[in-house]
């Protein structure tokens, strides 16, 4: 397939918050005859570069800081109505990709697919030719974006089908994707019986017997009564007993139906399930980059030069450190729970540890107003700083900085960003295990700040959060000076 449009290479913009992945995609697309004209690290920046460059193709990540892909997508579509927009989907995020397609994307590709597969997919979607179905890829023609009027039976039958296809095009339905969700999802007909239009695998397990076409009262009488009571509420949430135990139910309305989300009301079970899902997503990103780099190393010297190889090897080191950070937090959390956490207290110079934490990963100014040493475990202190810096880049905005200052007998290390800060109603939960703000657009394990707090206490210190003087967030590690 040709990457030419009117005799010139098709112009591409890549919008993704992982620089190493952008580098890989740029190499693959350039090798395939495309012209990558701009990159961006978040949705807001992506909108600006699309406005400036007016590309033929946009590769758009969904989970990004500042502004996510779903939020940026309508504006990008208005700016470039003729452009092909391909969503970059994280592991297990097919339902979000389906939302993106409904909002105007032309298709989606799962991160972690081989680079050659991604390249072929982008070629196919920009060529207008027949497309081959693939498990990790999905194309929905523009003519299918408009929602067609269907009968209740037609829609229920369509959602129950695992894969629908005609001719040379097939795609996985959003409901099939929802079957792997770690919580229950049901769609109910908005009628007195609340007949079940669809229930994913988790909903069926929680309710015991939930079949398509069955009145909800036959599967879960108490739930049916509460759904009937709350059916007109804009944002109803309540706890109810079902066959699988006590669950929290949340209702959402569509034009013709009621969606019911079910999650365990046992907080430890629900939190653990969500933590497993988000941790898998966090690990998948670095693994996808490393696999992509391994693939590019097989290219010959005409396709990748020595300078590019050096940059890619630097990317391997960065992504390996990210994986190490994730696994370190998981191990530390397990040690905390088992009571086996060990701290090796030493005399430490804060600046040396800070420089180790930011080396090859962040370009952040460091201001040292307190030259004193502290009593700390140098490896644990670096882990704490790494978590705070990662948190700032996920949820905050530039400029970032680190300040070392004195406060009585303590040396304070401030990690500062200039984003929106932590929502006031979430600050009390900020350092709890598996805690994540409900409106957070970036992913995370929910362990980072919990680990920082526990490690600070283990070193006779503390960690605090305060809003910035004008904007942003200030996370402070306080350790005894010596």
Q: Is the CATH number of domain 346-480 3.30.565.10?
A: yes
Distance CA 359, CA 363 (A): 8
Domain boundary assignment for the chain? 4-142, 178-265, 271-336, 346-480
DSSP one-letter string for 51-104: HHH--SEEEEESS-SSS-HHHHHHHHHHH-TTSEEEEEEPTT-HHHHHHHHHTT
Out of 25-29, 326-330, 353-357, least confident range: 326-330
Using the 8-state DSSP alphabet, how is residue 442 labeled? S
Residue 413: pLDDT over 50: yes
Q: Output the pLDDT for position 57.
A: 95
User: Which stretches does DSSP call E strand in 369-409?
Assistant: 374-376, 401-407
Q: Is the CATH number of domain 271-336 1.10.287?
A: yes
CA-CA distances (angstroms) from residue 292 to 295, 315, 319?
5, 11, 12
Pick from 24-33, 101-110, 250-259, 410-419 the range whose average pLDDT is largest.
Answer: 410-419
Q: Output the pLDDT for position 283.
A: 76
Instruction: Give backbone dihedrals phi and psi of 173, rounded to 5 degrees, phi first.
Output: -70, 155
Contacts of 10 by beta carbon, 8 Å cutoff, 6+ apart: 3, 4, 34, 35, 56, 57, 126
Q: Output the pLDDT for position 402.
A: 96
95-108 confidence digits (pLDDT tens) = 566 677 777 888 88
Q: pLDDT: is 370 or 166 the higher one?
A: 370
Residue 276: pLDDT over 80: no
Q: Three-state DSSP class for 12?
A: strand
Q: Three-state DSSP class for 465?
A: strand
Distance CA 257, CA 199 (A): 13
CA-CA distances (angstroms) from residue 52 to 39, 62, 250?
12, 21, 42
- As a CATH number, domain 178-265 is 3.30.450.20
Sole residue written with tokens 């919008």: 15
Q: Output the pLDDT for position 308.
A: 80
Distance CA 241, CA 224 (A): 11
- Under 8 Å between Cβ of 159 and 187: yes
* Largest distance between two CA atoms of the chain: 75
Out of 34-48, 293-307, 337-351, 454-468, least confident range: 293-307
Distance CA 396, CA 350 (A): 23
118-136 confidence digits (pLDDT tens) = 888 898 888 864 444 333 4
Residue 463: pLDDT over 80: yes
Mean pLDDT (the chain, rounded): 79
Q: Alpha-carbon torsion 267, 273, 276, 279, what sign?
A: negative
Distance CA 220, CA 209 (A): 8
CATH of 4-142, one of 1.10.420.10, 3.40.50.2300, 3.30.2130.30, 3.90.1150.10: 3.40.50.2300
């Amino acid at each position: 397939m040709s990457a030419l449009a009117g005799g010139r290479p098709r112009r591409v913009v890549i919008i993704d918050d992982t620089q190493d992945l952008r580098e890989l995609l740029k190499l693959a697309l350039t090798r395939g005859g495309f012209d990558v004209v701009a990159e961006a690290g978040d949705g807001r920046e992506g909108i600006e570069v699309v406005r400036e460059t007016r590309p033929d193709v946009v590769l758009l990540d969904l989970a990004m800081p500042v502004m996510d892909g779903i939020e940026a997508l309508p504006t990008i579509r208005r700016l470039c109505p003729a452009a092909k927009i391909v969503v970059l989907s994280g592991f297990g995020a097919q339902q979000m990709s389906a939302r993106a397609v409904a909002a105007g994307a032309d298709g989606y590709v799962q991160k972690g697919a081989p680079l050659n597969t991604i390249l072929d997919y982008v070629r196919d979607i920009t060529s207008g030719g027949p497309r081959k179905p693939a498990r990790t890829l999905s194309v929905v023609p523009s003519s299918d974006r408009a929602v067609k009027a269907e009968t209740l039976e037609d829609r229920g039958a369509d959602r129950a089908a695992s894969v629908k296809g005609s001719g040379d095009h097939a795609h996985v339905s959003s409901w099939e994707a929802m079957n792997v969700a770690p919580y229950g999802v049901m769609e109910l007909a908005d009628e007195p019986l609340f007949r079940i239009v669809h229930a994913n695998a988790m909903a069926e397990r929680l309710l015991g017997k939930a079949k398509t076409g069955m009145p909800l009262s036959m599967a879960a009488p108490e739930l049916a009564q509460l759904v009937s009571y709350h059916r007109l509420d804009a944002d109803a949430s309540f706890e109810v007993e079902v066959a699988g135990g006590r669950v929290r139910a949340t209702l959402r309305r569509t034009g013709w139906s009621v969606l019911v989300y079910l999650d365990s009301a046992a907080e430890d079970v629900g939190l653990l399930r969500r933590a497993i899902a988000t941790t898998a997503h966090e690990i998948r990103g670095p693994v996808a980059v490393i696999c992509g780099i391994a693939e590019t190393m097989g290219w010959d010297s005409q396709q990748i030069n020595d300078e590019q190889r050096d940059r890619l090897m630097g990317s391997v080191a960065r992504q390996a450190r990210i994986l190490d950070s994730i696994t370190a937090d998981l191990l530390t959390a397990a040690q905390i729970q088992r009571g086996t956490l060990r701290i090796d207290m030493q005399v430490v110079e804060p600046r040396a540890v800070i420089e180790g934490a930011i080396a090859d990963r962040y370009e952040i100014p460091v201001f040292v107003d307190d030259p004193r040493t502290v009593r700390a475990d140098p490896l644990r202190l670096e882990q704490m700083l790494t978590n705070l810096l990662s948190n700032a880049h996920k949820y905050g905005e530039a400029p970032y900085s680190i300040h070392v200052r004195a406060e009585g007998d303590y040396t304070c290390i401030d990690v500062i960003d200039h984003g929106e800060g932590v929502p006031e109603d979430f600050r009390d939960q900020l350092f709890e295990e598996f805690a994540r703000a409900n409106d957070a657009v970036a992913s995370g394990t929910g362990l980072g700040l919990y680990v920082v707090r526990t490690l600070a206490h283990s070193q006779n210190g503390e960690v605090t959060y305060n809003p910035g003087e004008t904007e942003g967030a200030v996370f402070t590690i306080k350790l005894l000076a010596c």
